[in-house]
Chain A
Amino acid sequence: MARFHDLEVTDIHKTIRDAVVVTLKPVTGAAEAFDFTQGQYLTFRQDFDGDELRRSYSICAGKEDGILQVGIKRVDGGAFSTWANENLNVGDTLQAMSPMGGFFTALDAGNEKNYLGFAGGSGITPVLSILKTTLAAEPNSTFTLVYANKGVNSIMFREELEDLKNINMGRFNVIHVLETDAQEIDLFTGLVTEEKCAQLFATGWIDIKSIDTAFICGPEPMMLGIAAALRTGGLDDGQIKFELFASSQPGRAKKRAVSTDAASAANQATAAITLDGSTQTVEMSKDVSILDAALGNKMDAPFACKAGVCSTCRCRVLEGEVDMVANHALEDYEVEKGYVLSCQSYPVTDNVVVDYDQ
């Protein structure tokens, strides 16, 4: 079950003008929960004017670095990333869930593999973690990175990558592809598209036939183009690892979009929730599901999938009206009788009365 732990910010510095690298230290007792695998990400939560936002950021540290570090690039209009870039300080506490994600392959010191990484902009963070860890753990493997950016000024971790190149001569190569800044080699200017990849393969910059595994992290069109080129180059789906952090993270699917202005005062509801024979009346936001309201008030309401699938959280609405946004479990006749999936149901009226015992 997903749980949040406290992390202390021990260092924060800019890697480019609008991106920070944040070093985190689990507070006493939580260290074990943050043992990560290269390429994984952390999901943070933070309150903004009463609204909880959750955002995921990839770990950029290598395993052997012995630290927990994430890179956060400021997104225009992004509450969390702007806050992290402008207001976060050393000594502050952040809350995150244990590392998650499967953007990695198993490493073995005996491997002699050739890896290929593609990163677009801040998509470098998990790829950096992977390549640092791989170069350290597999002394006979090679790593080629194709790194796409707008211009020289927007290259995150540029110096760190140069250092890695020098330490791992002959095993690690970086190809910077810049959208706007001209480079000596024409091929390295423009976008990383399917055609660009095909040219990199055809001209020998990348020996696609020798590649064992490819990692791609970038915006959607870039991922599609690269994946298509890799498949044409002979890689199968099992050899291509993706990590996508959509340019427009839909955020939490908590609720249909309600403007926060309209929400502030008028958006409250009173819910009387009956569970195991006793009734508790709670004040709740209409942006919170009935289930979360019950759980948030220390009621041991039943639930399992929280996705409207398993029907464990079924309850019956006795008074008032709720909006059930998804239902994959209840039959029509049950809905007619007033049964709802509490994990998918949000108050519509100012007063609702629900019963889990019926």
Chain B
Amino acid sequence: MAEDMSIESYLAQGGVLTNPTNVPPRYRAELMKLMATFVDSELAGAAGFADVINAGPGIKERIAAAKIVLEKTDNADRVLKIMGEFGANTDKYANHHPWTARLDRGADIGASRTEQDMRLAVFNYPLDGWSDAVVMNLLMGRAVAVQMAEFSMVSYQPLAEAFRAVAPVEARHAELAEEGIAKLAEDGEKATLQASVDYWWPRVAASFGAADSSKAESLKTMGLRKSTNAELKTRWEAETKAVLDGLGLTSG
């Protein structure tokens, strides 16, 4: 009976893993890294956005911002729970780093991360007031949508399911941002908005990672990636450009 199949070839043929016990070490490391990046980015994103709730020009805006903070924290929790099943101490993890910490707005860190956590580089930059936060949320929200579509197909089933649940919530955040920008544009803040687009566009673009990442192939055979960094970035650029065009703004 052809029951002797290595986990590696099972994965290469599109197989799905379902619990920590049969995850090979290399796969486990890549999976933990993927999860830590998501959790840290959501926690850092939520923490940064929490600070601008009060900057919302009206009560509707403040409700929307508070909802985004709540739901991003909730999304982090979903994935952190899965890390917990691998032995991570979830209570400690959630508090092991000051998630509100940011660098200078002019810091030049490219796509590198800080040594303390795994958040995407983009979350190390501070928000500059309400309209800047809304623009960042739109651009990053669109990026998350592209990434969630990709990661909803990862070969670790519990994580794929978590991302499928997270995807519509994150998509709604980008919609809220779009509505927010439309309103700000009506109020004649177009120049400020465009300045924020110009600031965030390259930084969000960098969050897709290096185009020549050598790891893409091995991640593909493990079923942890389907598309390359460059493909995801191109998808994001095209989709986001269309949204910005609709708002009368220019992409970077």
Nearest chain-B residue to A325 (Cβ)? B25
Could you tell me if B92 and A304 are in contact, using CB atoms closer than 8 angstroms?
A: yes
- Decide if A102 is an interface residue (CB 8 Å cutoff): yes
Chain A 48-73 residues near chain B, CB threshold 8 A: 54-56
Query: CA of A303 to CA of B88 in the docked complex: distance in angstroms?
Result: 8
Indicate with 1 or 0, residue by residue over B114-133, a CB within 8 angstroms of chain A CB atoms.
Answer: 01111000000000000000
- Decide if B101 is an interface residue (CB 8 Å cutoff): no
Could you tell me if A224 and B10 are in contact, using CB atoms closer than 8 angstroms?
A: yes
List residues of chain B with CB within 8 A of the CB of A253.
Answer: 24-25, 28
Indicate with 1 or 0, residue by residue over B189-226, a CB within 8 angstroms of chain A CB atoms.
Answer: 00000000000000000000000000000000000000
Could you tell me if B33 and A247 are in contact, using CB atoms closer than 8 angstroms?
A: no
Indicate with 1 or 0, residue by residue over A233-246, a CB within 8 angstroms of chain B CB atoms.
Answer: 00001100111111
List residues of chain A with CB within 8 A of the CB of B22.
Answer: 244-246, 249-250
Query: CA of A312 to CA of B200 in the docked complex: distance in angstroms?
Result: 30
- Decide if A306 is an interface residue (CB 8 Å cutoff): yes
Q: With A41-B19, A311-B116 as known contacts, state yes or no: A220 contacts B84, CB within 8 Å.
A: no
- Decide if A88 is an interface residue (CB 8 Å cutoff): no
**Nearest CB on A from B53, distance (A):** 28
Q: With A310-B36, A310-B118 as known contacts, state yes or no: A2 contacts B18, CB within 8 Å.
A: no
Most buried by A among B1, B2, B19: B19
- Decide if A107 is an interface residue (CB 8 Å cutoff): no
Q: With A304-B88, A304-B96, A310-B96 as known contacts, state yes or no: A326 contacts B14, CB within 8 Å.
A: no
List residues of chain B with CB within 8 A of the CB of A309.
Answer: 29, 32-33, 36, 118
Chain B 16-63 residues near chain A, CB threshold 8 A: 16-19, 21-25, 28-29, 32-33, 36
- Decide if B107 is an interface residue (CB 8 Å cutoff): no
List residues of chain A with CB within 8 A of the CB of B5.
Answer: 219-221
- State how many residues of chain B have any CB contact under 8 Å with chain A: 46
**Nearest CB on A from B62, distance (A):** 33
List residues of chain B with CB within 8 A of the CB of A102.
Answer: 18, 157-158, 161
Query: CA of A54 to CA of B118 in the docked complex: distance in angstroms?
Result: 29
**Nearest CB on A from B24, distance (A):** 6
List residues of chain A with CB within 8 A of the CB of B93.
Answer: 304-305, 310, 312
- Decide if A188 is an interface residue (CB 8 Å cutoff): no
**Nearest CB on B from A215, distance (A):** 11
Query: CA of A150 to CA of B3 in the docked complex: distance in angstroms?
Result: 12
Could you tell me if A242 and B16 are in contact, using CB atoms closer than 8 angstroms?
A: yes
Nearest chain-B residue to A250 (Cβ)? B24
SS class of chain A's interface: helix, strand, loop or mixed?
A: loop
Could you tell me if A219 and B3 are in contact, using CB atoms closer than 8 angstroms?
A: yes
Nearest chain-A residue to B116 (Cβ)? A311
Could you tell me if A312 and B2 are in contact, using CB atoms closer than 8 angstroms?
A: no
List residues of chain A with CB within 8 A of the CB of B28.
Answer: 253, 307
List residues of chain B with CB within 8 A of the CB of A103.
Answer: 18
List residues of chain A with CB within 8 A of the CB of B92.
Answer: 302-304, 312
Most buried by B among A103, A238, A305: A305
Could you tell me if A242 and B4 are in contact, using CB atoms closer than 8 angstroms?
A: no
List residues of chain B with CB within 8 A of the CB of A43.
Answer: 21
Could you tell me if B160 and A237 are in contact, using CB atoms closer than 8 angstroms?
A: yes
- Decide if A24 is an interface residue (CB 8 Å cutoff): no
Nearest chain-A residue to B7 (Cβ)? A246
List residues of chain B with CB within 8 A of the CB of A302.
Answer: 92, 96
List residues of chain A with CB within 8 A of the CB of B115.
Answer: 311, 329-331, 334
**Nearest CB on A from B111, distance (A):** 14
- Decide if A223 is an interface residue (CB 8 Å cutoff): yes
**Nearest CB on A from B4, distance (A):** 7
**Nearest CB on B from A155, distance (A):** 16
Chain A 1-25 residues near chain B, CB threshold 8 A: 1-2
Nearest chain-A residue to B4 (Cβ)? A247
**Nearest CB on B from A190, distance (A):** 10
List residues of chain A with CB within 8 A of the CB of B19.
Answer: 41, 56, 100-101, 243-245
Could you tell me if A304 and B29 are in contact, using CB atoms closer than 8 angstroms?
A: no
Could you tell me if A328 and B29 are in contact, using CB atoms closer than 8 angstroms?
A: yes
**Nearest CB on A from B42, distance (A):** 15
Query: CA of A334 to CA of B115 in the docked complex: distance in angstroms?
Result: 10
Query: CA of A179 to CA of B2 in the docked complex: distance in angstroms?
Result: 12
List residues of chain B with CB within 8 A of the CB of A326.
Answer: 25, 29
Q: With A2-B87, A307-B88 as known contacts, state yes or no: A224 contacts B36, CB within 8 Å.
A: no
Select B10's contact among A56, A179, A220, beta carbons within 8 Å: A220
**Nearest CB on A from B150, distance (A):** 14
Nearest chain-B residue to A251 (Cβ)? B21
Subset of 9 A-B contacts with CB under 8 Å: A100-B85, A249-B21, A305-B32, A307-B32, A309-B29, A309-B118, A312-B92, A328-B33, A329-B115
Q: A304-B92, A309-B118 are in contact. List 4 more A-B contacts (CB 8 A).
A: A220-B5, A304-B96, A305-B86, A328-B29
- Which A-B residue pairs are the 9 nearest by beta carbons? A307-B32, A246-B22, A220-B10, A304-B93, A253-B25, A220-B5, A305-B88, A219-B3, A56-B21
Chain A residues with CB under 8 Å of chain B are 1-2, 41, 43, 54-56, 100-103, 150, 179, 191, 219-224, 227, 237-238, 241-247, 249-250, 253, 302-312, 325-326, 328-331, 334
